[in-house]
Amino acid sequence: MFKRNIVFVVYRTFLFLFLISIFFLVLIFYVPNIAINSNMKQKNILISTLPQGWAFFTKDPKEERISLYWDKNPFEEYDFIGTRFNEYFGFDREVRKYISEIINMSSLIPENNWVQGDFNKIIYFKGNQNLLSIDKKHKYFKNFCSKNYVYIKHKPQIRAWRYFENTQKVKYTKVKFVCN
């Protein structure tokens, strides 16, 4: 009787491990293809349903980041707080939608429109030189319409240097998105 219970537990354990391994194999080979081959509608559905935080494991820490600023003097950065309780557990996805929209809009900017410059000089930059106007006829862009924005691509500043002046060279461009 006791031997029969041990065999039953061992079989159940192996069956469980086998099913879990099959699940992860399907996940490993199927999910990357979804991200590459999906259209904008599918990506927005994924962004609004999946929990936040997977980018921590897949993002290169030295990769250029994109920041969006209002065209004021000095520029005022859009600050999205994604560390609220609701954001962690996926109850509120507004910040995620904004960030996704900012990144998708930046992909509409041609590469030759980005200008290299000093971060501290750009922050106090005035005028509409090189203002790029992009007509947004896409139904997924909703929140950033008809204002002048400044996109800045920059590498992250090392945490130990956060109290020093930021002297890194950045790429920037001024954009006005016209919504229809």
Give the tens place of pLDDT for each residue, 102-146. 877 788 788 888 888 777 666 666 555 666 776 666 655 667 776
Can you read off the two tokens belonging to residue 1?
């009787």
C-alpha distances in Å from residue 45, one per residue of 52, 81, 84, 121: 13, 22, 22, 39
SS3 labels along 10-36: HHHHHHHHHHHHHHHHHHHHHHHHHHH
Residue 37, H or E segment: helix 2-37
pTM of the model: 0.54
| Lowest mean pLDDT across 7-16, 17-26, 57-66 | 57-66
Residue 24 has pLDDT above 90, yes or no: no
